[in-house]
Amino acid sequence: MNSASQKVKRIFILTDMDRNGWNKEEFPAAGKDDSLYRVKIVDFSPSQKGVNRALVSQIKLNQEFLTNRRVIRVQATVTNLLPDRAIQQLPVTLFVEGKRQGEGFLDLPAKGQATHVFTFPLLKNEPVSGYVEIQEDALNVDNRRQFVYQPDQKIKVLIVDGDPRGVAHQHESFYVEKALNPFSSPMADIEPTVSTLDEFSRRDLKQYSVIILCNVRELAIGFERELEKFVLKGGTLFVALGDQVNPKFYNEKMGMLLPVSLKTLNQVSRGEKPFHLQAAESHPVFKVFTKSMMRQIGGIAFHSLYSVEPRRGREFKTPMRFTNQFPAVIESDFGEGKVILYTSSMDRDWNAFPIHPTFLPWIQRWVKYTAQSLESLTRPD
């Protein structure tokens, strides 16, 4: 107002005198110069027919990162404007891109609030728009609240380090984290987060597409059930073994997730002939690997690995084996998600793979494949 060129400066406030029109947080008190200008209030409340009972006061959106179906969660808060009367079974509806996606009912105490949570699948990584609407009353403009949401296109990966050490490059998770985002760039399409085993049970698993267990001895009591829920709903669990792993725990507690049981730790000394990898080149992960890259992978030395035994009645694929025909990678479906078991380690204790140039595209493409990021799989890494 101070910088305006007009000689006569006045402030007009048009209102129906409803309380929801005055939000102190969004409209702070006027400055000390407010007395310089005349303020005229235009009251429309006499023309209002009926009572403004409720309004959609807030919408919060967040994204759940699950494998086959990324999910958008819409949390809608509705406020009862009636000072002395509750509202029972108020219809609340979610519309996305003009189509009805869900409906619910809310019980609102007098002068109180209630929240309804909707979810809908994200089919494309494109902005989505919509609104939440409640039943009509005397003031319909506040019965609908619009939203526009830009989905996060990153693949969020949680790496659980089962053998952290004092020197960074000796951490079990070191090579995996660096391979998934080599330059720690915020523009990368994979976003890894490293967690200790103690922190793992406190994490919100819905925030990730893929969870990688790196040489984890065992989980907190009962936490395998949370992993089962995560994979059932579409998440990916990638289990990499190592010298800290307790086979008894995996065989007894992880039987729902793993289609095989851990049998024997096979080791060769440094002077003996090592194990070598073979891959099924027809698998989607290896479609961009050249013959030269496949030969390089086949030349990597492995000195330790677990042999496994199939569980009765379970189905799985073996896209990678060792030359002695022991499985190297086992892939299985569980609910809407996937479980990958890698029978060696992700650090250099058991093999030289992590320091080989092919390790980066190998682990990145497993993450993208299991997270169904098909647009990323169409280009070489």
Which tens digits make up the pLDDT trace of 117-169? Answer: 999 887 776 788 999 999 887 777 889 999 988 776 788 999 999 988 777 77
Q: Summarize the chain as % helix, strand, coil (round to 5).
A: 20, 35, 45
Residue 112, SS3 per DSSP: coil
Helices assigned H by DSSP within 258-373: 291-298, 359-370
Q: How far is CA 21 from CA 30, 40, 118, 204, in A?
A: 16, 16, 26, 36
Task: Kindly list the strands in the beta sheet with 113-122, ordered across the sheet, starting from the edge strand earlier in the chain.
Answer: 54-64, 70-80, 113-122
CA 167 to chain centre: 30
The arithmetic mean of pLDDT across residues 16-36, rounded, is 52
Nearest-10 Cα torsion for 163, 165, 169, 173: 30
CB atoms under 10 Å from CB of 338, counted, come to: 23
Confidence category of residue 70, pLDDT binned at 50, 70, 90: low
Q: Which of 235-244, 263-272, 332-341 has the lowest mean pLDDT?
A: 263-272
Angle at alpha carbon of residue 88, lines to 84 and 89, rounded to 5°? 155
Measured between alpha carbons, how far is 193 from 184 in angstroms, rounded to an integer?
11
In the chain the domains, ranked by start, together with CATH numbers, are 10-47 (no CATH), 54-149 (2.60.40.10), 155-377 (3.40.50.880)
Alpha carbon of 144 to those of 17, 19, 96, 266: distances in Å? 19, 17, 13, 64
pLDDT band (50, 70, 90) for residue 17: low
Q: How many whole angstroms separate alpha carbon 380 and alpha carbon 362? A: 11
Residue type for 228, please? Answer: E
Q: With cut-offs at 50, 70 and 90, classify the pLDDT of residue 379.
A: very low
- Using DSSP's 3-state secondary structure scheme, residue 286 falls into helix
pLDDT at 118: 95
Percent of the chain with pLDDT over 90: 62
pLDDT at 112 over 90: yes
Q: Which residue has the higher pLDDT, 51 or 199?
A: 199
